A = this chain, B = another copy of it.
Amino acid sequence: MNLKQHFEVMLPEIETELQRQAARLDATNLRPFHEMLTYHMGWTGEGAGKEATGKRIRPLTVLLAAASAGGDWKPALPAAAAVELVHNFSLVHDDVQDNSPKRRGRPTVWTKWGVPMAINVGDALFVIAFQSIMDLSRAYPAESVVRASVILQEACLSLTRGQYLDMAYEKRHDLSLEDYWQMVGGKTSALLSACIHIGTLLGGAKDAEQEAYRQFGYHLGLAFQAQDDILGIWGDEAVTGKSTASDLVEGKNSLPVLFGLDRQGQFAKRWKRGPITASEVAEVASLLEREGAKTYAEEIAERETEIALGFLRQANPRGAAGEAMLDLANMLLKRSQ
């Protein structure tokens, strides 16, 4: 099986497991509460469907990791559900925190039901995520369940650390590259790394292999974020100037922006003067590119990718799932396979 075939087999099972977990809130007098949750997950309401659910990349990595470590992926499904629920808990709260009206093209939970309800929906998703992990008890010894929980919880605490740094630096121009890596490490890498770590733990990998997989996940996350930051400024959608899709308009402290600020050149001057309008986007992006920010970010993405792939080789992934894992890494990094 190649990556696509793995996806086709695993995705419906992930969705079923997620719905089974979410059903914990399915009771007569809780129906509207349950509906807020199923709406956010992309199953119900206006615009429900594939576009609304997101790609379920994180649960897929859990299952691929379990298989590529030599284990069976099906009993790991509750862990796959857990990481996706954690991811979605953070999205619901993020949308409140960032005041974002839309998510995947649909109104966010807080715009539909208000901030207090949205906070509660996020909290419920968070609890259900931890309940899902406990469901691993059906197939794994209690020691593994505890270990998987500890790994997921450490990633969750890193999420709150990254979120804190992100919010704290939102209106500041003195974010260092070191702060950037800690923020990205918390917000993107920690959970991806935990997905792969938990998967390989459940798949029966030895400690040294688990550690290599974990590092693979962490650097994959960093490389993915650097890549995403590049696309956020120079990607097709970002440079059209017609939308506010550009990270420059959003004022995001991304890797190229931090490089530009560090250079203290023309870009830094413009950035500190205030928000960049949609009509300036192409010009500022090109200025930033001339100052070397794009090349810098590409080098970082390339470096982190190489580190990630080095750890993956060291982890000794097995069989078709192992190859699919490599394909997934390449897909995430937008590299040709």
Chain A residues with a Cβ under 8 A of chain B: 24-25, 27, 29-30, 32-33, 93, 96-98, 115-117, 119-120, 122-124, 126-128, 130-131, 134, 137, 141-143, 145-146, 149-150, 153-154, 156-157, 159-161, 163-165, 167-168, 179, 182
Contact = CB atoms under 8 A, between A and B. Distances in A.
B126 A164 contact: no
The count of identical subunits is 2
A30 B120 contact: no
A25 to B, nearest CB: 7
B149 A130 contact: yes
B93 A123 contact: yes
B157 A127 contact: yes
Contacts of A161: 25, 27, 30, 33
B120 A134 contact: no
A100 to B, nearest CB: 12
Contact of A119 (B119, B149, B179): B119
Nearest to A156: B127
Contacts of A27: 161
25 contacts: A24-B157, A25-B161, A29-B165, A30-B161, A32-B168, A33-B160, A33-B161, A93-B119, A93-B120, A96-B115, A96-B119, A115-B115, A119-B119, A119-B122, A120-B160, A123-B160, A124-B160, A127-B157, A130-B130, A130-B153, A131-B153, A131-B157, A137-B146, A141-B142, A149-B149
B142 A157 contact: no
A61 to B, nearest CB: 21
Given A123-B126, A164-B33, A131 B150 contact: yes
A150 to B, nearest CB: 5
> Which 3 residue pairs of A and B lie closest in terms of their CB atoms, listed nearest first?
A142-B142, A97-B116, A124-B160
A79 to B, nearest CB: 14
A143 B115 CA distance: 38
A87 to B, nearest CB: 13
Nearest to A86: B127
A165 B179 CA distance: 41
Nearest to A163: B120
Given A127-B156, A130-B130, A146-B146, 6 more contacts: A98-B116, A119-B122, A120-B167, A127-B157, A142-B143, A142-B145
Contacts of A137: 146
Contact of A146 (B93, B145, B153, B157): B145
